[in-house]
Amino acid sequence: MELLRLDQVSYCYEKAEKNVLNNITCSFESGRLYCIKGSSGAGKSTLLSLIAGLDVPTSGNIFYEGTDITKMNRDDYRAGKIGVIFQSYNLLQNATAAENIMLSVNISGKRIGIDEVCILLSQVGIEQEKAKRKVLKLSGGEQQRVAIARAIAGGTPILAADEPTGNLDAENETAVMDIFKKLAHDMGKCVIVVTHSQNAASYADEILYLKDGGLAHENK
Amino acid sequence: MYILKNALKNLIRNKGRNAAILIIATLTLTVVTVSFSIQTLSSLAISHYKDSFGVQATLETNWEKIDKEHPPEQTVNEDGSITMEQNFGFIMPDAEEYANYADSQYVKQALYQASCAIYSDSLKQVDDNLQQGEEIIDLGDMTKDELMKFYMVSTDEELAEILGGREELEKVIDTKANSVGSLIGFTDLPLLNEFAAQQRKLEQGIFPQNLNECIVSNVFAEKNDLKPGDTISVSGPSKSLDKKEVTLTVVGIYGDYFNEATAATFGTSYGDIFTTYDTLMNTGFHYIDLTDAVFILKDADSVGAFEQELRAKGLNKYLSLVCSTEEYENNTKPLKNLSHIAEIFTILASTIGTAVLLFISFINVRERKYEIGVLRSMGMKKSNIAKGMICELLVMMLAAFAVSVLIGFVLVKPVASTLLDDPANVTISLPAISIAFSAGLAFALSIVSSSCAVLVVMRHEPMKILSERN
């Protein structure tokens, strides 16, 4: 079922001469895992931020279940429809891992107990003791996993991840990609992953390649 | 609820920055609370001074104006006499006119003193006069024959000319002989100069407060065998009109040291019987002289307006309202200056404190841009982020306010005691209005500093905030 559709989406940064994204048209369905690949600076993260509703296209539209997200309340869209895992994690540094997750869930209007949070964190490989530690005191890989847990915790229909395994070793990369796959295939989520990793891309149902501002399907 | 929880947690999370805000806010609010209290207390002291003393004003003859404007050539009566009005162009207002003048919004109180000679068959005279001592002359108590003898004239016309008219002569003719003293009515003790100067002192009983109460001198009491509680009956000075006696109760006896000192020169006045002004005016006696009248004005600034009102009510142009604002100004000027300085200090402290807090809040929000970006990326509404930040600042300001009020309570007494010349005039404590002002400022500071800073960041998209930070 089509969940998200990009229609002639272009984006140009302020004061830039050229569009970084050019008339991109594509759609994303529930229950599938997508990987977006491309060289550095190709616009992968930009595309993901437009999908996540963090910014608006210069032209074109993005539709969520047929509704243009620019016409929706984008705060509600971000809080309830899409979970984002940022390349630089974007966690509240002075808060604990558990607090980061609980706050994110609270923002989406739901409630979550500390026990559920601990279970969620253990699923991404964070022990209970570290759940109550300030994010600042966790390693890069651990922060990455807290960010994944935070995105999953909200139970949003879409999950967008920017290089989610960039700071993880092969073992943890496999574990995380397994979780994404399970979320897509077992729980019917639409998972979109931006990655350079060939291993991570191998989990995808569909691979999209971003080049010269355009998007192309890549055969697996 | 989660917004408040998160705000409270943020207070701990960012304790370093928040401590700086808390210290500056506490300092600002303490300075403002104390300086505003000083301003309020000095205003209270001024107001207390106004309430207690006011400005004294009297009606006095403007001789300079009379010299300039009133022609020396006046109408002369048939008998050749000239009245005071004919001579100088005015007569002093009587009690009724004074009462009319005193009925004004500018007058806090009117003080009067009046007197008239009293007569009694049952009381013995105590004062020296012409009849008892050759060197001592009291013209006011002389009969017509005595006056003719004194002025060495042989006809009524000649005497009338000297006395200022037929009317004055009639008065002399109608006045009874051998008064036992004077009945002096007063509205207020300060008008009794000899008592104020301790030349006369109440030695037994109380001052008259109610109708028909009086005090007499120790000499008079001794001569007439009077003690507090006794009554005396006296009549007025007019032979034809004051036939009825009035009974007064002696409520006190005063020692007269004034007469001891002046008797040799001016005669004595041991026969002065003091009563309330209302008692004297209610006796119905004739030939009562208003000897002193003072208006206590509410404010030194209202002197001009009051004089205008008096003119409109018909005050003679040769009479002027004279008031001594020197004492009032001397007493209130330092307080006014202090109040003014405290006001400037309050404004300065509020302004500087607000500016510093604004600056720190701005830096704070710039430093928290990343946090705001993260919250926005998670879908937290701008308004909720603002609410959270306002909550944090409100809690801090509440703490700063509580501490500043506590410090204010401790500081206001020693500071006010040092600055106010006569702190006994006012009760020194932290005025409620200062606490309210400080609370208002604390609230305004938290709203202005948080809203202003939040607005700066809220203009941007979350991605922009995060990318700038990253």
Q: Does residue A174 have a pLDDT over 80?
A: yes
Q: What is the pLDDT of residue B224?
A: 92
Assigned domain for B140 exists: no
Q: Which residues of B touch A56 (CB under 8 A)?
A: 461
Q: Which residues of A touch B460 (CB under 8 A)?
A: none
d(CA B434, CA B446) in angstroms, rounded, equals 18
- Confirm if A90 and A29 have CB atoms less than 8 A apart: no
Domain span at B430: 2-51+331-469
Assigned domain for B349 exists: yes
Residue type, B435: I
Nearest to B42 by CA among B407, B434, B368: B434
* Residue in A55, A80, A99 nearest the CB of B461: A55
> Which residue of A lies nearest to B465 if distances are taken between CA atoms?
A54
Distance of CA A163 to the CA centre of its chain: 9
Nearest to B184 by CA among B243, B245, B270: B270
Distance of CA A136 to the CA centre of its chain: 22
* Residue in A54, A80, A104 nearest the CB of B462: A54
Q: Which residues of B touch A91 (CB under 8 A)?
A: 374
Q: What is the pLDDT of residue B132?
A: 40
Alpha carbon dihedral B164, B166, B172, B173, in 10-degree steps, equals 160
Interface test with B, best of A100, A107, A158 (most B CBs within 10 A): A107
Assigned domain for B449 exists: yes
- Confirm if B226 and B250 have CB atoms less than 8 A apart: yes
DSSP string over A113-155: -HHHHHHHHHHTT--HHHHTSBGGGS-HHHHHHHHHHHHHHTT
Assigned domain for B203 exists: no
Residues of chain B with pLDDT under 70: 51-53, 70-89, 127-141, 164, 190-191, 259-268, 420-428, 452-454, 456-458, 460, 465, 467-470
pTM recorded for the entire structure? 0.60
Q: How many domains does chain B have?
A: 1
Q: Hey, is B285 helix, strand or coil?
A: coil
> Which residue of B lies nearest to A91 if distances are taken between CA atoms?
B374
Q: What is the pLDDT of residue A63?
A: 95
Q: How big is the CA angle at B404 (ends B401 and B408), to the nearest 5 degrees?
A: 135
Assigned domain for B370 exists: yes
Smallest CA–CA distance, residue A220 to chain B, in Å, is: 32
Who has greater pLDDT, B240 or A219? B240
Q: How crowded is residue B1: how many other Cβ atoms within 10 Å of its Cβ?
A: 6
Assigned domain for B108 exists: no
Q: Do B377 and A55 touch (CB under 8 A)?
A: no
ipTM summary value: 0.89
Who has greater pLDDT, B199 or A46? A46
Q: Does residue A20 have a pLDDT over 50?
A: yes
pLDDT tens-digit profile of A69-120?
988 888 899 999 999 998 888 898 889 999 999 999 999 888 888 899 999 8
Q: Do A75 and B379 touch (CB under 8 A)?
A: yes
Assigned domain for B417 exists: yes
- Confirm if B215 and B208 have CB atoms less than 8 A apart: yes
Q: What is the pLDDT of residue B309?
A: 93
Q: What is the pLDDT of residue B180?
A: 87
- Dihedral of CA B417/B422/B424/B425: which sign? negative
Smallest CA–CA distance, residue B468 to chain A, in Å, is: 13
A14-19: average pLDDT: 84
Mean of the per-residue pLDDT values of chain A: 89
- Dihedral of CA B34/B35/B40/B44: which sign? positive
- Confirm if A9 and A57 have CB atoms less than 8 A apart: yes
Assigned domain for B402 exists: yes
